[in-house]
Amino acid sequence: MGLLIAELEYEKEKRTIDVNVSGFSVMINVAYRYFCKKGRGHIVGISSVASIRGGQDAPAYNASKACFS
């Protein structure tokens, strides 16, 4: 049986989203500005298989990885 919505620990899930979505967004912004100043560069994002397969045990992790996939 899967995880029930009532069993989610909101603060833990929110921290996961903050790190994986907000943290990634901030770092991409920093890299983009750096490469714009240099006039060249590459940005590569590495995600997780969880972004396409997901699962019941870590919904915030799965969703946050899917955000950039």
Q: Which residue has the tokens 């994986």?
A: 20
Specify the DSSP element, H or E, that contains 1: none
Q: What is the rounded distance in angstroms from the CA atom of residue 61 to the CA atom of residue 68?
A: 12
**Taking the mean position of all CA atoms in its chain, how far away is CA 61?**
7
DSSP string covering 24-60, please? HHHHHHHHHHHHHHHT---------THHHH--SS-HH
User: pTM surpassing 0.85?
Assistant: no
Q: What is the rounded distance in angstroms from the CA atom of residue 67 to the CA atom of residue 2?
A: 22
Give the tens place of pLDDT for each residue, 30-63. Answer: 999 999 999 999 999 888 898 888 878 888 999 9
Give the tens place of pLDDT for each residue, 12-32. Answer: 889 999 999 999 999 999 999
